Structure 1
Amino acid sequence: MKEILLLLLSLSTAGAVPSTVDIEITVPAKDTLLRSLDRNLVSWSIQNRDLPIFARSKLLENLFKALSTNIAIGQSVRLGGGESDKTTYGSDISITAKKYQSGYYGAQAQGNVTLGPNYFASFKDKYAPDTRYIWCLNLINTTNNFEAAISTAAGVLEYLGDELDLFEIGNEADFYGSKGFRDSNWDASMMLPEWNYIADEIQRLAPEKTIKFMAGGFANPAYIVTKDFDIPGIIAAGFQSSRIPWYSMHLYPQSGCSGAVTIAPLLEHNTLSDILSNYIPQVAAAESVGAQFAIGETNTVSCVGRPGISDTFAAALWLVDYVLFAATIGVRRVYFHATTKGSYSPVIPINYSLESGNYSAGVLPLSYGAYFVSEILSFNDTLLVTQIEGGNDTDYSSYSIWDEKKRLRKIVFLNLQSYNSSTGGTNPATPNTEVYSSAEVRPSTRVTVATPWEPGQELSLIRLQGPGSNSKSLVNVSSFTLSEKDGSVTSNLVDTIIIVQENGSISFDLLASEAVLVQHYSEVLANRHPTKSGSKAANSTMDGVVMRTRGADMSFACRHDLSNKIIISVILATIILLIS
């Protein structure tokens, strides 16, 4: 059973002396900068032509429902990417909704995306309630005074209505000059009149509404800015008004379009923090004009990701560290890009074929990283985040979560030490890559935290866990799993209960390549949860460890079994370690 697996994994290093991390969390001083956590901290970027195909299955819809239940708000989806600057729209286009779901966009497409009214019918109302959209418009096509952008905006306004939050105008316009879409001297001051013209025309389409925009969307990261294509640059050029409440830039830490990429940087906190720290001036520029900053398109590796990197458990851990650190420097949202066949996607919605073989729809580890973050964000009031002093290094990172009265609510600790396993080394949704295991026993770290919490309080401890950082399957959040068929919840989450000690301290063990969230158990019960029913399940105790299954219909005895192969391998490993 999964609970047995969880406990055995915890015991698997009993024969070794664990490394230790001792940290202290003090109530923040008045001048301590605590950044608020946006409920849509984890958001999504999807090519506009791909959303109908995602709608063919329930995978993305059910993932969205699970996430939205926790955060008590709909998902934010940016419909944008390279296809945005190839898109045209016609109210008389008669392509059926079903054809859009098949990937058909008109015989005349020739690399372009031609949309009609049934495009919106192909996905509308198929996702979790209150899903909100950002639509990226075609800035490259200047024909008939940007008819492509303006006509598309008219369709979006008609069919998405109040589900639309923002428009973007142009995708990665800092590349236009180098790619021949504009003159080589193209800069933000040349972009401004075109951008303003389109924005003004869109506002005329809906005079009864105040149309809002996200400006920026540049491809180059903050440390390789070209000309004035960053947030300080475009604000100086004149991109500043009440209709621009958001600015964004894109970030892919590794390029999969060419060159070598590796899994290692995903598990290096210092590498991640060094990259993201370059965005501090971008955040400051946005905030200086009363706006907010988002990383508007991102993922592990560009050009649809890379199997063996983007589809691994390391990517799930990376997502958690990424968004939490980004939040500490003021980044409000991080939009993870997804395509229907990309190994960096949270789910693969369809069966598909590549030269390397045939693959099936399914769930990838990134989904579990997103779900773990939704548990962090689950609360009834505003949450604030900061890094824990002394709790960050190359192999680990930690964050404390507070409320507005500066009461400690949650602790997140990530053990980013690499550990590779052959268990869960494949996933039928993505191509196979080399399966390899670390030679040593999986290391464990004993974490002791001095907290301001009152002694005797019950705390919930849940883990983002998998067999190894390179594993592509068997990932879960304390037994919580999603169906590979439709994304529905197949196994309920199990809280491990720990007690605050007399001196206010808590201790827990954390395996290499694992993350933990600690919070008050009473607050877990107060918040909505995808699997929670009207009453809580009874305690289950094994070797002194108390676990409580969320959802009264799921008792400890009737949990889903793992395959015998996995259970046997874990038991054997545990016996060997206990004897040694």
Structure 2
Amino acid sequence: MRLPLTQGLLVGRATQSPVSTNTSITLPASQPAWAEPLSPNLAGFSIEMDRWPLWSGAEVGQPNSFTNQVLQNLADRTGVPPFFRVGADSEDRAHLDLSYQVMNATFPAPTADVPIPEASVISIGRDFYALSANLLSGTPFMWGINLKLGNLTDTVAQASLVADTFQGSRKDVTKDVKLVNLEIGNEPDFYSIQGTGYSSSWTPQNYSDTWREYASAVSKVIKLDNGGTTYSAGAFATFSSGLEWNTGATLEAGIMADSDTRSKTSHFAEHQYSGAFGYGPTAQPGQLMDKGTIRGNLSTKWADVKAARSSDLSFILGETNSYANHGMPGTSNTAEAAIWATDYILQAASMGIERLHFHHGFGYRYNLFQPAAGADDGLNLTSRAHILPSYHSFLIVNEAIGTSGKASVAELGTTNSSLSAYGIWENGNLARMVLINSAPYVSVNGTLPAARNSFSVNLANWKNGSNATVKRLSVPYTNAFTGLTWANQTFETESGKPEGTVYEEPLHNGVVSIDASSVALICFK
């Protein structure tokens, strides 16, 4: 997401409160009634369309091996590949031009703050959507098509190429991946302030009427039904763009008034960031991952989840990440982002948010990984593809979800302002538990504090003698760019394959210690 100049920063507070040495968590005797189902696709990706071939591989049948390796690491933990949304800002800057084999794009000049800017114009060629076939077998996709241009003919033509790619003459090419959702337009709540043909009177009502018109036309060229490909409605930025732009107001405006379109729509999407780089003060270490700030930001989505469910729609964050405008240097590309994202994803899931798509563009500082050399993201690894610290959050979350397809999550209460805890149940039994210590442990000009705060967590009601183990996210310090390990393995390799032997320590007497700026996964055997 790139914000218009009228937008501001959502400022949180940095955690500086002292950490107590001991705390206790009461394990429920049974799965809480409010536990929410966990989708194995909970932690998904959103990809800026303009450099899509860097992620997928430049030609059909020539996949990016690094991309597929780091995705395979995640798929191994849930049994299914991560969900990909491709579109975002550049979906509304795209038009169809079949004279190109893959694509053509025009990019503005780079700046110090935006060293790798988004394209201003994109021409979609014949193989553009077919590059989807290069990703892991079984990968689910949401593809975005243009609404902002206001050219219904071109939008329908884009949808026709999508249909031909996944359902028509090229379905044998894409047979191993799935077109699950189609998105029409990105962040339409910004249209009236971004110099488009939409007037300043652009409202949820105008949007709903326009979206229904486009959806009706598109449905004539692509097969849509609730058992296969469905519409994703909304995609609102909801970033100080007006309180009226939300799920409930849009449903009241009649976006689902057409019963045929409603039957072809599975969910409503909004976007969410914790703030924006370049708009206000620089975030201080601990501010992003602050427990209260995470809950405060996500609490703004409670009403939207409820409104979607009241219309028998699920609710997703179709685009999200730490700080908009490609991430904040020194925060979005550090270990803090991994700790933040672990808490953020599980908190969202415990609220009933079905899926979160973490946004990516080539060189963006908030990426989980860079798919190719040349990415100037602050890690000094421009010579090769590489992961960033936040990649570890997806490893942890996917491992917490597991492979059963029947997991549920609920937050567990703690009395410590730096400790977050989530229980994961399978078949009514507590199977796993995630503990997150978001207290900062910060390097200042290369100097660390003399001691790292740590405290012991007593799991009350733990059955003494039960077999349980602990895996840990090890972080050198809060603002570290590299050196993280998960369960004693490093994923910071040239191939993307982990190195090192997985280590699980036994849980003794129901007590687990946890350092500041770290995460632990407890597995009850």
- Structures share a fold, TM > 0.5? yes
Q: Which residue of 1 aligns with 2:458?
A: 448
* 1:107 CA displacement: 11
Cα deviation 1:228-251 (Å, max 9, x = unaligned): 321001100112222221111111
Q: Which residue of 2 aligns with 1:175?
A: 190
Q: Which residue of 2 aligns with 1:4?
A: none
CA distance 1:214–1:437, change in 2 (3 Å)? farther
Gaps of 5+ in 1: 1-16, 422-433, 522-580
Counterpart of 1:508, as a letter, is V
Q: Which residue of 2 aligns with 1:7?
A: none
Tell me which of 79, 82, 85 is aligned to 1:75: 82
Give matches, 1:491-570, under 5 Å. Answer: 491-499=500-508, 501=509, 506-521=510-525
**Contact 2:469/2:507 (<8 A) preserved:** yes
**Contact 2:50/2:119 (<8 A) preserved:** no
Tell me which of 423, 431, 436 is aligned to 1:400: 423
> 2: distance between equivalents of 1:375 and 1:110?
36
* 1:514 CA displacement: 0.6
> 2: distance between equivalents of 1:408 and 1:354?
43
> 1: distance between equivalents of 2:20 and 2:277?
37
1:467 aligns with 2:491: no
> 1: distance between equivalents of 2:269 and 2:135?
25
Counterpart of 1:20, as a letter, is N
* 1:363 CA displacement: 1.2
* 1:359 CA displacement: 2.3
**Contact 2:94/2:121 (<8 A) preserved:** yes
Tell me which of 218, 233, 239 is aligned to 1:215: 233
> 1: distance between equivalents of 2:241 and 2:107?
38
1:383 aligns with 2:407: yes
* 1:301 CA displacement: 0.9
Q: Which residue of 1 aligns with 2:8?
A: none
Tell me which of 150, 156, 162 is aligned to 1:156: 162
Q: Which residue of 1 aligns with 2:34?
A: 33
Farther-moved stretch of structure 1 (176-185 vs 354-363): 354-363
CA distance 1:94–1:282, change in 2 (3 Å)? same
Counterpart of 1:516, as a letter, is A
Tell me which of 93, 106, 109 is aligned to 2:99: 93
CA distance 1:346–1:82, change in 2 (3 Å)? same
**Contact 2:23/2:416 (<8 A) preserved:** no
> 1: distance between equivalents of 2:132 and 2:287?
38
> 1: distance between equivalents of 2:405 and 2:89?
37
CA distance 1:227–1:444, change in 2 (3 Å)? closer
Give matches, 1:109-148, under 5 Å. Answer: 111-121=120-130, 123-143=131-151, 146-148=152-154
CA distance 1:469–1:234, change in 2 (3 Å)? same
Cα RMSD (Å): 2.5
SS of residue in 2 equivalent to 1:204: coil
Counterpart of 1:153, as a letter, is A
**Contact 2:84/2:142 (<8 A) preserved:** yes
Q: Which residue of 1 aligns with 2:276?
A: 255
* 1:35 CA displacement: 1.0
**Contact 2:225/2:264 (<8 A) preserved:** no
CA distance 1:483–1:317, change in 2 (3 Å)? closer
Q: Which residue of 1 aligns with 2:22?
A: 20
Counterpart of 2:512, as a letter, is F
> 1: distance between equivalents of 2:493 and 2:321?
22
CA distance 1:459–1:440, change in 2 (3 Å)? same
CA distance 1:269–1:188, change in 2 (3 Å)? same
1:373 aligns with 2:379: no
* 1:217 CA displacement: 0.8
**Contact 2:363/2:376 (<8 A) preserved:** no
Q: Which residue of 2 aligns with 1:55?
A: 56
Cα deviation 1:70-117 (Å, max 9, x = unaligned): 111221111121101011123x3233x5xx5xxx43799982110112
> 2: distance between equivalents of 1:164 and 1:205?
15
1:194 aligns with 2:210: yes
Gaps of 5+ in 2: 1-18, 58-63, 109-117, 168-176, 257-261
Cα deviation 1:469-504 (Å, max 9, x = unaligned): 1111111111122253221222342111225x4xxx
**Contact 2:35/2:410 (<8 A) preserved:** yes
- Please give the TM-score of this superposition, normalised by the length of structure 2: 0.84
Greater helix share, structure number: 1
Tell me which of 420, 433, 444 is aligned to 2:442: 420
Counterpart of 1:89, as a letter, is L
SS of residue in 2 equivalent to 1:267: coil
Counterpart of 1:68, as a letter, is A
1:293 aligns with 2:315: yes
> 1: distance between equivalents of 2:223 and 2:395?
39
SS of residue in 2 equivalent to 1:301: strand
Cα deviation 1:486-535 (Å, max 9, x = unaligned): 21222342111225x4xxxx0111111111111124xxxxxxxxxxxxxx
* 1:120 CA displacement: 3.3
* 1:227 CA displacement: 5.3
> 1: distance between equivalents of 2:122 and 2:496?
28
**Contact 2:68/2:136 (<8 A) preserved:** yes
* 1:358 CA displacement: 8.0
> 1: distance between equivalents of 2:20 and 2:209?
61
CA distance 1:353–1:280, change in 2 (3 Å)? closer
**Contact 1:26/1:452 (<8 A) preserved:** no
Farther-moved stretch of structure 1 (486-495 vs 339-348): 486-495
> 2: distance between equivalents of 1:317 and 1:55?
28
CA distance 1:490–1:157, change in 2 (3 Å)? farther
CA distance 1:281–1:393, change in 2 (3 Å)? farther
**Contact 1:27/1:452 (<8 A) preserved:** no
**Contact 2:163/2:223 (<8 A) preserved:** no
Q: Percent identity?
A: 22
**Contact 1:317/1:515 (<8 A) preserved:** yes
Q: Which residue of 2 aligns with 1:478?
A: 487
CA distance 1:151–1:257, change in 2 (3 Å)? farther
The alignment of Structure 1 onto Structure 2 pairs a total of residues equal to: 472
SS of residue in 2 equivalent to 1:125: helix
> 2: distance between equivalents of 1:464 and 1:163?
33
> 2: distance between equivalents of 1:107 and 1:519?
48
SS of residue in 2 equivalent to 1:252: strand
SS of residue in 2 equivalent to 1:191: helix
Give matches, 1:257-276, under 5 Å. Answer: 257-262=278-283, 263-276=285-298
- Please give the TM-score of this superposition, normalised by the length of structure 1: 0.77
Q: Which residue of 1 aligns with 2:343?
A: 321
CA distance 1:493–1:168, change in 2 (3 Å)? same
**Contact 2:430/2:524 (<8 A) preserved:** no
Counterpart of 2:235, as a letter, is G
SS of residue in 2 equivalent to 1:264: coil
1:230 aligns with 2:246: yes
CA distance 1:133–1:247, change in 2 (3 Å)? same
Counterpart of 1:380, as a letter, is S
Counterpart of 2:233, as a letter, is A
> 1: distance between equivalents of 2:48 and 2:245?
23
**Contact 2:277/2:325 (<8 A) preserved:** yes
> 1: distance between equivalents of 2:442 and 2:42?
29
Q: Which residue of 1 aligns with 2:171?
A: none
Cα deviation 1:105-163 (Å, max 9, x = unaligned): 37999821101122234x333222211111121111123xx122211111112223461
